[in-house]
Amino acid sequence: MSEAKKETTIFQLADQFIALANEINTTEQDVSKVGTALRFAASRFNAFEAALKSADLAAEKANALEWFTKEYREMLTDNLNDHINNPPMSKEQEPKAQEPAKDDAVQIFSK
């Protein structure tokens, strides 16, 4: 009996791109620069995708722009709403590690 092939979801693939962007950002320390590079890479790859799928890209360019723009707008809207409902915490806002509670019942005697 053969094992069914597990299909990678778009969310799993997106998580791989996000992980790479986060890794690059640790070096660059510029989320705007990394975000711009990621958008440029997406637009370049989407143009390649459109070219592969189109019999006449010049004639279908307006339709491709409309379709990709609509898709991106919907995805961005969903993700903006997610961040509105679940804002990311800055390093300063993250909970600090608490010191262990002191146990007054146990006394430590030093020599």
Tell me how far apart the terminal alpha carbons of the chain are, to the nearest angstrom. 70
- Mean pLDDT confidence for 45-52: 98
| Tokens at 94, concatenated | 């993250």
Cβ partners under 8 Å of residue 28, min gap 6: 34
pLDDT-derived band at 1 (thresholds 50, 70, 90) equals: very low
pLDDT per residue as tens digits for the range 18-47: 999 999 999 999 999 999 999 999 999 999
CB atoms closer than 10 angstroms to residue 66:
10
What per-residue confidence (pLDDT) applies to 108?
Answer: 55
